[in-house]
Structure 1
Amino acid sequence: MFKKVTRYIVSQMDPKEELVPVESIADHEHFRPSCLLVGKEKRKTVFHQGPYYQRTGFTLDDVLLPGDDGKSTDSLHPSGDGPHSRQFTLTKVTTDQVDGCLSLSVDPANVELKGGGSVSQEFSIKPQTKTISMGSLEALRQKRKINMDHSFIQQLQRTKLKLFLVYETLEASEEAVYKESTKVHGSFLAKIYAKFSAKGTTENRQSIVIPKSCTLAFRAIEMNIYKGEWRLGFFIQCSGELVGYEDDGPSEVVREVVQHYAVFSKLSPDLRVMFLKTITAVLRDRNLFPELSQKMEDVFAGIDGYELKTESPDLKDLLSTLENSPRDHRRLLAEGITYTLDALDELLDDQLLLLLESLERKIVSQQLKLVEKLLEHELEKPFRVDARLLSFPRQEDQHLTMALVELSRVKLQEDGSAVPMEHPFEVMAALYVALYILCLLSDPK
């Protein structure tokens, strides 16, 4: 829920997408001004064109040698009412009531194929920006050097990870509460929830308290270290180099997907079944995301003495296979798994359950062809696709597919007409990735 809130806030307040939303409320304190981050070793993808950051637990002051005056970097921390602080108010209240027809709402996700239902969303938050001036950072750089004997700096020097410094944040100036309520009756999605996640109830109420001073989003700047000196990469900001795919969007998406999954296409049928079993477990249970993602990061980082062990029965077979694979092969598999997790993380929980149902109904290959055709269009204005792509043996399969696509921000009609909603390309590309890997691993060949 927290990620949903921070992404919405950033979309409303930062149309240039330079701010990076904080995705976990448990980590918000690690993204405050002067906190140090490392860039995760992941290539930018068509569904996530910004960089990935990982908290370190250290601040700039932790790794600097004492200055001649013995002062710390406390002076870098802007106060809430200082010249580098700005406050805003953002309010959102929505209530949707549907009855007797197909209706889908993207945020929060609600799919209704028959019967009726309602969904409501409510919050009011006052974010404020806090910024460390580049002038004060430059003055500090000239006075204090990096402690090259610091254990974190020594470990960083042995890796290829990039170091970043948080210099601006968007914080909650007051405590805020986000409330979300979804109620459905007689719905297709309610049945899918009961089937795959043991959620038999058709009413769901959730809320989250966002504390005062909670970091909602941030900007970071790269730090380069050499023999105790440190410099800031003023022309390499946190937004990174955005890559456009408008000219050859679908071909670029397909090219990227084929590249990441080349190693999986060579797996034996038994290994494909095992990998598919793990991915379907992840689709059912998002709690598996953090552990599996961290294990893959350990593979990338080449941490000495790391073990691919787990207490989760859903992950044991996969991790055992990776541990017994040659290093180069293990790294390629880990890269493909990470790519899959990153794509799934861009999708809504309801989409993950619809993917599970699609897999059971054996319609993912046809859905893949449909999504690939959708990606051939600009996705910025209404268009039309061949209606035969929406022709399924069962009407429920067609409705399920239309729901899955609409949750990816493109509304489809049975005649093939399509109406894009807000910024659908990235999430549609993520859906294509998910369908591709499910189709590849479920292929008996």
Structure 2
Amino acid sequence: MFKKVTQSVVNQMDSTRDLVPVHSILDHEHFRPLCLVKPKKKKIWKLSPGYTQTWYTLDDVLLPGEDNRSTESLFPKGDDQDSRQFTVKKRVSDTVDGSVSLHVESASVALKGVASLSREWSIKLQKNHIPIPKLEALKTERKMNANHSFIQQLQKKQQRLYMVHETVETSEETIYEESIKAEGSLKTQFHAKFFAKGTRENRQGITIPKGCTLAFRAIELTITDGSWDLQYFPESSRTLVCDGSSQGKLDRLEAEVKDTCQIFSKLSSDLFVVFLKAIKAVMRDRNLFEELTHKMEAVLDETGSCELKTESPDLKDLLSSLQNSSRHLLLKLAEAITYTLDALDELMEDQLLMLLESLEEKIVSQQLKLVKSILEHDDIEHSEGHFHVDASLLSFSQEREQKLTIAMVEMSGVKLQKDGSAVCTKAAFSAVAALYVSLYVLNLLSNSD
């Protein structure tokens, strides 16, 4: 739910894609001004930059200055002009009249009647940033600690380093709530049957504390011996993947996902089951998602061995198999898992649940073909672009499977009709490509079933 809020804030505030949403409330403290972050590996399908936390701030890796002054003096205070407050509001209300049937794991739910979803929130935000002139002055006052172990490892691995210099934070505690209300008949079956008529309401929410970082901007640092500098115009700036046709980008996307994830195909049938079980678990549980993400990033960052332990039974078998792998295989698998998690992280929570149901219904392979056919059209680069896909790809054995697929694709910005006609509700290549990557990996891992 936190991700829904941060993504919505970014969508309303920033059209340049430089403002990066924080996806987990557990990590927000690591994306405050002066926090050091590392860029994630660039992907063809991801337009906006991505970063991982380092647990360090700029102050941690600088040598003390002559006056021993802390970097806290760089932060805006009170009514400083570098700290601005504003309010963002959003209200969503949807009503569906009809019947829905869902199957997840051992439970099935059939709903007839009226269902409504409402989201309404107002959040007061504060934009903070460290003035560039102050950072320029700091360069001459305090040198980089070239003997710091983190800096030494960073330079040894030739990794780039960025610093958070602007954030969007909550200026007061905020409560975000969702309400799903169903009226009519509700039938739920776990192992025993339960039948009820009337009204059922499901409310869930999250409390976001004051001072919580929702989004940030980062600037690249360059380090040479004991000096450091700010890269205002980095030579290897973000590649504009909007150049070229969608067909050309699809070719590059297929090459990228195969190069990164084909290592999964070399697993034994037993490990296929282990890996798929773990991926399905993190799709359901955001805490497990974050745990696996951090562990895989630690593997890719470490120069030596990395002990992989967990208290989660859903991840234990996966991490155990990785721990027993050779160093070369471990790195390849960690890269593939991280790539997969990055794609899943781009999807909405409801899409993840729909993917889980698609796995149960064994329709992922057909969905993959459908999404690939969508990516072949240049119109998905433009809002209100119209095109057609092969209607046979929307033909499923059950109507609810078709409705499930259409709804899942629409959440990525493409509205489909049963006859194959399609229209983009937004420039959708990046979102649809992330769905393609997710389906590709799930299809690959589920082939052992």
From the superposition, tell whether residues 176 and 351 of structure 1 become closer, same or farther in structure 2 (CA, over 3 Å): same
1:81 to 79, 100, 118: 79
1-side partners of 2:307 and 2:225: how far apart? 33
Residue in 2 that maps onto 1:174: 172
TM-score, with length taken from structure 2:
0.86
Residue in 1 that maps onto 2:261: 261
Residue in 2 that maps onto 1:106: none
Q: How many residues align?
A: 429
Residue in 1 that maps onto 2:225: 227
1-side partners of 2:237 and 2:123: how far apart? 24
2:215 to 206, 213, 217: 217
1-side partners of 2:111 and 2:431: how far apart? 22
- What whole-Å deviation, never above 9, does each CA across 1:376-412 have from its counterpart, x for those lacking one? 1222312221211111122222122222222223221
2:428 to 424, 431, 434: 424
Q: Offset of 1:5 from its aligned partner? A: 0.7
From the superposition, tell whether residues 26 and 353 of structure 1 become closer, same or farther in structure 2 (CA, over 3 Å): closer
Residue in 1 that maps onto 2:154: 156
Residue in 1 that maps onto 2:326: 326
From the superposition, tell whether residues 226 and 272 of structure 1 become closer, same or farther in structure 2 (CA, over 3 Å): same
2:407 to 403, 416, 429: 403
- What whole-Å deviation, never above 9, does each CA across 1:73-102 have from its counterpart, x for those lacking one? 233112352232333321112222222278
From the superposition, tell whether residues 186 and 364 of structure 1 become closer, same or farther in structure 2 (CA, over 3 Å): farther
2:89 to 91, 97, 105: 91
Q: Offset of 1:173 from its aligned partner? A: 2.7
The aligned amino acid for 1:427 is A
Q: Offset of 1:357 from its aligned partner? A: 2.0
From the superposition, tell whether residues 441 and 209 of structure 1 become closer, same or farther in structure 2 (CA, over 3 Å): closer
Q: Offset of 1:303 from its aligned partner? A: 4.7
Residue in 1 that maps onto 2:10: 10
Q: Is the 8 A contact 2:139 2:228 kept in 1?
A: yes
2-side partners of 1:335 and 1:185: how far apart? 46
2-side partners of 1:32 and 1:295: how far apart? 22
From the superposition, tell whether residues 158 and 272 of structure 1 become closer, same or farther in structure 2 (CA, over 3 Å): same
Residue in 1 that maps onto 2:302: 302
- What whole-Å deviation, never above 9, does each CA across 1:188-238 have from its counterpart, x for those lacking one? 9x979x79xxxx996321222333332221111111222211111111399
Provide structure 1 residue ranges, at least 5 long, that are not aligned to the other structure. Answer: 103-110
TM-score, with length taken from structure 1:
0.87
1-side partners of 2:178 and 2:20: how far apart? 23
Residue in 2 that maps onto 1:243: 241
Residue in 1 that maps onto 2:103: none
Counterparts of residues 39-438 of structure 1 (less than 5 Å): 39=39, 42-100=40-98, 115-184=113-182, 203-236=201-234, 240-244=238-242, 247=245, 248-377=248-377, 378-379=379-380, 380=382, 381-438=385-442
SS of the residue corresponding to residue 100 of structure 1 reads strand
Q: Is the 8 A contact 1:33 1:166 kept in 2?
A: yes
2-side partners of 1:234 and 1:300: how far apart? 28
Q: Is the 8 A contact 2:178 2:203 kept in 1?
A: yes
Question: Is residue 443 of structure 1 aligned with residue 412 of structure 2?
Answer: no
1-side partners of 2:251 and 2:36: how far apart? 37
Q: Offset of 1:246 from its aligned partner? A: 5.3
Q: Offset of 1:16 from its aligned partner? A: 0.7
Q: Offset of 1:178 from its aligned partner? A: 1.9
Q: Is the 8 A contact 1:51 1:239 kept in 2?
A: no
2-side partners of 1:137 and 1:73: how far apart? 10
Provide structure 2 residue ranges, at least 5 long, that are not aligned to the other structure. Answer: 101-108
From the superposition, tell whether residues 216 and 14 of structure 1 become closer, same or farther in structure 2 (CA, over 3 Å): same
Q: Is the 8 A contact 2:343 2:435 kept in 1?
A: yes
Q: Is the 8 A contact 1:245 1:252 kept in 2?
A: no
The aligned amino acid for 2:174 is A
Structure 1 residue runs of 4 or more that deviate by more than 6 Å after TM superposition: none
From the superposition, tell whether residues 305 and 364 of structure 1 become closer, same or farther in structure 2 (CA, over 3 Å): closer
Residue in 2 that maps onto 1:107: none
2-side partners of 1:237 and 1:128: how far apart? 32
- What whole-Å deviation, never above 9, does each CA across 1:160-188 have from its counterpart, x for those lacking one? 33222211112223333222212245799
Q: Which segment drifts farther, 362-371 or 343-352?
A: 343-352
Q: Is the 8 A contact 1:176 1:212 kept in 2?
A: yes
CA RMSD of aligned residues (A): 3.0
